[in-house]
Amino acid sequence: MSHWTDSIIGERMAVDQTFSDRVTASQFSNAEWDLIMTATNLEMENADDPEAAQIVANTDNVAAIIPELEAIRSQTAAMAGQPGGGSHQSSGGLLDSLMGALGLGSDDSDETVDAEKLAAAEQLTAEYAEALQAHLEESGSFEQARAAYREA
């Protein structure tokens, strides 16, 4: 079974392009944003009601990848030859963080989540969901997306 957003992939690509300016203005790099979006599930609240249906970002899994954002920043700095790049060594790695975000693997309760980064990621994903819905409504594709969500 495919995910409901597969039916609107072209629309998402268009929103990704226009939203890139917002990502650039945020505290996140493109690579960090990609990881945040990988951990985010787009859902639709009130999908049965055409008037109340709303795309929302479910960020329940984002907290698990927040520690990896610093690793991405360090790796990017190392590749660019900047001082301090590569000095941060991730305890579990990207794969472990993704597995943890999906509820697989070990649960390291000792790791603290950077609440500020998490709040910023949640805010940015909420803005993305709003931008996607606005784009779908403007392009006349929202009903298609709503139907796909209901069928999924």
Per-residue pLDDT of the chain (152 residues), as tens digits, is 468 999 999 999 999 999 999 999 999 999 999 999 999 999 999 999 999 999 999 999 999 999 999 889 888 878 877 665 444 444 456 666 666 666 665 544 434 558 999 999 999 999 999 999 999 999 999 999 999 999 98
- Residue 114 has what pLDDT? 85
Give me the amino acid identity at 60: D
Residue with tokens 């994903």: 125
**Helix/strand/coil for 52:** coil
CA distance 77 to 87: 10
Q: Which domain holds residue 51?
A: 4-151
**pLDDT at 145 (0 to 100):** 96
Tell me what pLDDT residue 109 has: 42
- Residues recorded for the chain: 152
Rounded to whole angstroms, the Cα distance separating 9 from 19 reads: 15
- Structural domains counted in the chain: 1
The span from the CA of 136 to the CA of 133, in Å, is: 5
